[in-house]
Amino acid sequence: MEFHFNRWVRVTGTVVLVLIALYGIVAINVYSSVGQFPTHGPRPVPQIHTLIWPTIGYPELVAPGAVMEAELDAAEVSGPAGTFTAMLTPVRPELTGLTYSLPVSGAVRGRSEHWPVGTAHGGDTVWHLRFAVPAQAVPELYNLSIRADVGGRDFTYSQQHAVSIITPHPGDSFRFITLSDIHVHQPNISSFHNPQSDKGIAPDGTPVFLQRTIDQVNLIRPDFVVLLGDYVMAQRYAGEYLAEFNNFYKELARFQVPVFIAPGNHDQYVNDVDGARVFQENIGPLFYSFDAGASHFTVVNTTEWPYTDRIVMSKFGGLLFFPRKYQGQVLAATDERKPQTYAGQLAWIRDDLVRHEDAANRFMVMHHDPFRPAGKAYAWKNERFGGVITLGGSGVGSTALKTLAARYRVNYCMTGHMHSDYVGYQRWTDRQGATGFINQTMAFFDHGGEKDSYPGYRLWNVQGKNVSGFTYLDGVHSVPLYDGSVLDGETDLNKLDRLALSGSAGADGFSVSSYLGVPMDVEGLIGVFPVQQGKNVSGGRVYFSVPLPGDASRQLLYMRTSASPGQPGPDAATAGQPSVTSVFVH
């Protein structure tokens, strides 16, 4: 018996030692910096240079006849105040030839008002330039160029899609679309740890799925779009970030409406380049705020991890690859429940909300949901694999964001990251209302195959203090981008092919085809017609017309219609019955 007992102890002890050693090897491999991607490769020539606001990801909304502002980095444009001229050229090709040249009406030096301290140009001294927009300016999206006479030499600084001239709608009403988790990625990056579908990705990496998404957005033509983070994948091989980012950036030119962009975790990975830096050199600040109508939007960066935690590492020959941290984090509170103890970005958010107490609505925009589910904030917690490997990073700051939302009466907090829909509410501190935490699905095809969510978007209708329409059919889900998306159950992502909403143009008008189970107001029916046409339109309405530049016989007509509901297909393999709404121009 004694012999057998000793043997049992020896065997068990050996097994335990081997397990400890294996665990150690796994842990060292997973958590050490062995295999981290190099971080000193080339980076693209910055698109944001000298002209630091407005930008493609932080555009300016301005009414005809109002004052347009811009910020030029005063370190680049120094010396005596030069003369400045702004040029606005429409993005829309039909309007080529139309250009507004605006003389400067004011130039003062001061701190940037659009890059908060803690962002790349925070605290920079800038030229605040003011230009008067003509009262007759066509309400459209414009590329901006600013010419500066610097010490007798001419320089031009440009930013595409930077200015949107908007006609304020009656009753302070406007519409916007939120899209999240676009994840433009290279083909063939799928792996055991992180499977990815190549659906909608061309062999050269062109994100065709994003083009089809933008086409639906342009057809609806909301006043603007808000992107909620994660535009790239950037975690399969070194150098992937730039290839994917360039493909994403190219597609931004396809939008015909202004786009406000919030950063996600993938956008800030360090993979050959520091993503947070590339984002700020090409898109805009990591956090900022803007006004639309009488409402205020505060855009938050929920990936406040130090550089070393954002470095992507490839482990076990690519079986595992990830940065140390990818969940939510916002710094810096001494006591998250006490806003007076906040510093850094949190203090800036607090002050921004205080300054906009009187706004019709306060919206918070961020990538990680600090609430879902029921206040537990899963997007801010570690993820565990097999009980051994802990990934993601348990971040701080979710309680602070919930505290700010409750204390300063935030109406809605819109988020992504989880690739599925969720709607939850938290009472305000004064109990006079509640914050809606509206989390939304992805815009790409994720891992393909069966999934309990589908690619979609939310469309928000704002009318004064009244916010509606941000869910589809059941009060929770996003509007599907494809027919056959299943709201409660599994959707076969591989079989999604029929665009839920599509338009086509003919010589005498447009037709809109919709599989959606709700009516959809579309305002992007825009085409060139002879000037004698457009007096009579059936099936829709002309809301704006502009003579074609250099062609007295033709005009550009902007029309809207309400696309009738179609019959949605029950699943991806079974087509529904689309409605067809026709708009004829006589």
Our CA angle for 182, 183, 184, nearest 5°, is 100
Beta carbon of residue 264, minimum distance to Fe ion (angstroms, whole number): 5
Beta carbon of residue 210, minimum distance to Fe ion (angstroms, whole number): 16
Q: Which is nearer to Fe ion, 230 or 336 (CB)?
A: 230
- Alpha-carbon gap, residue 198 to 534, rounded angstroms: 44
- Alpha-carbon gap, residue 583 to 505, rounded angstroms: 10
Q: Which of 54, 118, 222, 264 binds Fe ion (CB under 5 A)?
A: 264
Torsion of CA 237, 387, 394, 371, to 10 degrees: 110
Burial (CB < 10 A; 0-12, 13-18, 19+), residue 133, is buried
Beta carbon of residue 440, minimum distance to Fe ion (angstroms, whole number): 12
Q: Which is nearer to Fe ion, 274 or 369 (CB)?
A: 369
- Alpha-carbon gap, residue 48 to 160, rounded angstroms: 10
Q: Which is nearer to Fe ion, 183 or 362 (CB)?
A: 183
The single residue listed with the structure tokens 């916002």 is 330
- Alpha-carbon gap, residue 322 to 36, rounded angstroms: 9
- Alpha-carbon gap, residue 556 to 307, rounded angstroms: 49
Q: What is the three-class DSSP state of 539?
A: coil
Q: Which is nearer to Fe ion, 114 or 368 (CB)?
A: 368
Listed residue (299, 257, 256, 353) closest to 61, CA to CA: 257
- The interface region with Fe ion, picked from 151-159, 226-234, 315-323, 529-537 by CB under 5 A, is 226-234
Torsion of CA 362, 365, 370, 371, to 10 degrees: 60
User: What's the Cα-to-Cα distance from 185 to each of 242, 263, 278, 315, rounded to whole Å?
Assistant: 11, 16, 17, 20
If binding is defined by CB under 5 A, does position 265 make contact with Fe ion? yes
Helices 344-355 and 398-407 pack at an angle, to 10 degrees, of 10
Q: Which is nearer to Fe ion, 248 or 529 (CB)?
A: 248
- The interface region with Fe ion, picked from 86-94, 346-354, 409-417, 431-439 by CB under 5 A, is 409-417
Q: Which is nearer to Fe ion, 159 or 180 (CB)?
A: 180
Q: Which is nearer to Fe ion, 315 or 417 (CB)?
A: 417
- The interface region with Fe ion, picked from 238-246, 258-266, 284-292, 539-547 by CB under 5 A, is 258-266
Beta carbon of residue 403, minimum distance to Fe ion (angstroms, whole number): 23
Q: Which is nearer to Fe ion, 295 or 345 (CB)?
A: 345
Q: What is the three-class DSSP state of 401?
A: helix
- Alpha-carbon gap, residue 377 to 363, rounded angstroms: 19
- The interface region with Fe ion, picked from 169-177, 265-273, 455-463, 483-491 by CB under 5 A, is 265-273
Q: Which of 183, 296, 417, 458 binds Fe ion (CB under 5 A)?
A: 417
Name the DSSP letter for residue 36. B
- The interface region with Fe ion, picked from 157-165, 256-264, 372-380, 426-434 by CB under 5 A, is 256-264
If binding is defined by CB under 5 A, does position 323 make contact with Fe ion? no
If binding is defined by CB under 5 A, does position 128 make contact with Fe ion? no
Beta carbon of residue 486, minimum distance to Fe ion (angstroms, whole number): 23
Q: How many residues interact with Fe ion (rule CB under 5 A)?
A: 4
Token couple for 291:
């006004």
Residues with Cβ within 8 Å of 7's Cβ and at least 6 positions away in sequence, in order, are none
- The interface region with Fe ion, picked from 18-26, 209-217, 410-418, 425-433 by CB under 5 A, is 410-418
Q: Which of 223, 230, 304, 571 binds Fe ion (CB under 5 A)?
A: 230
- Alpha-carbon gap, residue 209 to 386, rounded angstroms: 34
Q: Which is nearer to Fe ion, 148 or 179 (CB)?
A: 179
Q: Which is nearer to Fe ion, 235 or 265 (CB)?
A: 265
Token couple for 149:
């006479």
Beta carbon of residue 51, minimum distance to Fe ion (angstroms, whole number): 30
Strand ranges in 346-432 using DSSP code E only, listed in sequence order: 362-365, 383-385, 389-391, 412-415, 422-427
Q: What is the three-class DSSP state of 455?
A: coil
Q: Which is nearer to Fe ion, 262 or 347 (CB)?
A: 262
Beta carbon of residue 286, minimum distance to Fe ion (angstroms, whole number): 15
Token couple for 371:
């609430």
Beta carbon of residue 435, minimum distance to Fe ion (angstroms, whole number): 21
Tell me the Ramachandran region of residue 450: left when phi exceeds 0, alpha when psi lies from -120 to 50, beta otherwise: beta
Kindly write out the interface string for residues 432-471 of this chain, putting x where it contacts Fe ion by CB under 5 A and - elsewhere: ----------------------------------------
Beta carbon of residue 363, minimum distance to Fe ion (angstroms, whole number): 20
- The interface region with Fe ion, picked from 17-25, 141-149, 229-237, 282-290 by CB under 5 A, is 229-237
Interacting residue ranges for Fe ion, rule: CB under 5 A: 230, 264-265, 417
